[in-house]
Structure 1
Amino acid sequence: MTTIPDSHTDLLTRPLYAHLATIRPDGSPQANPMWFSWDGQHLLFTTSTTRQKYRNVSGDPRVAISVNDPDQPYRYLEVRGVVERIEPDPTGSEFAALADRYGLPLDGPPGDVGHRVVLVVTPTATSHQ
């Protein structure tokens, strides 16, 4: 596992958006802005089994993220990694935790709660500026 540089850990602990890049079945990339959390070892994302990114990581678990500092736009962290596991989230608890982290009030679980999963990403390499 790759260690995140101390100088850039704040980019993972602040509620910033990460652009999550996955690999489509035809080999082309797909990137989307995503909510995420960092537990000190893994990046956690929530999605549903009906989304293309779920199908992408089910076929090829390699991913990359890029997060930039909104206060210093050229300061960034790129993390390359692998989806170590996909965990069911039938109550939407990870979605609720991320909604709280990003300041979105909820009136209950998301409408697609029956399809919710958590992507657990283990970093394998980083680059930063």
Structure 2
Amino acid sequence: MPRGILPGMTFALPDTEFGARAARHLTDDVVAWLTLVDASGTPQPAPVWFLWDGSSALVYSMGTAKRLEHLRANPRVALHFDSEDAAAHVVVLTGEAAVDEDTPPVHENPEYLAKYGERITGGWGSAEKFASIYSVPVRIHPKRVRGH
């Protein structure tokens, strides 16, 4: 479990119009931007597919991705979404991420397949093939959300 996240501690979006908009992004968006920092402190944003469970986001990473090395050195991350129109409706979550050994591989994750299954089979032929490449589940535990 990432530093600063206590067992049983969950993240909740604010009960506001902004919170509702953030919830729509978390459930409806296909792509989010995951930003972490490398060893030199340079931000490294990357588009990712993600699955929101109500309190954390799941991303599957390539096993060879530098992202994993960066996360082990510094688990602090940001997850943000494309704004809907001319920089309106910005949503940024900040928190910590870590490899989640308890999460099943993509081809055994029905919720992830429900969201991305057609894209996976269209691009990789099968969920098993995709899972062999994107083999490392990373769990993002947000602590804060900001935006407008």
TM-score of the aligned structures, taking structure 1 as reference length: 0.81
1:120 corresponds in structure 2 to 139
SS of 2:81's equivalent in the other structure is strand
SS of 1:110's equivalent in the other structure is helix
1:104 corresponds in structure 2 to 119
The separation in 2 between residues aligned to 1:119 and 1:105, in whole angstroms, is 18
2:57 corresponds in structure 1 to 43
Report if the CA contact (8 A) 1:15-1:101 is conserved: no
The separation in 1 between residues aligned to 2:51 and 2:74, in whole angstroms, is 22
TM-aligned CA deviation for residue 94 of structure 1: 6.8
Report if the CA contact (8 A) 2:106-2:130 is conserved: no
For each residue in 1:21-60, what CA deviation from the matched residue of structure 2 results, as whole angstroms up to 9, or x when unmatched?
Answer: 0110111110011111100011111102200111111211
**Greater Rg by CA:** 2
Equivalent positions of 1:25-104 (< 5 A) are 25-70=39-84, 73-87=87-101, 91-93=105-107, 98=112, 100-102=114-116, 103-104=118-119
1:3 matched to 2:17: no
Task: Tell me which protein shows more helix as a share of its residues.
Answer: 2
Gaps of 5+ in 2: 1-9
For 2:13, the aligned partner's letter is I
Report if the CA contact (8 A) 1:46-1:94 is conserved: no
Q: Identity over aligned residues, as a percent? A: 22
Report if the CA contact (8 A) 2:107-2:131 is conserved: no
SS of 1:32's equivalent in the other structure is strand
CA gap 1:123/1:111 in 2 versus in 1, 3 angstroms: closer
For 1:4, the aligned partner's letter is L
TM-aligned CA deviation for residue 68 of structure 1: 2.9
Task: Tell me which protein shows more strand as a share of its residues.
Answer: 1
TM-score of the aligned structures, taking structure 2 as reference length: 0.72
Number of equivalent positions? 129
1:12 matched to 2:26: yes
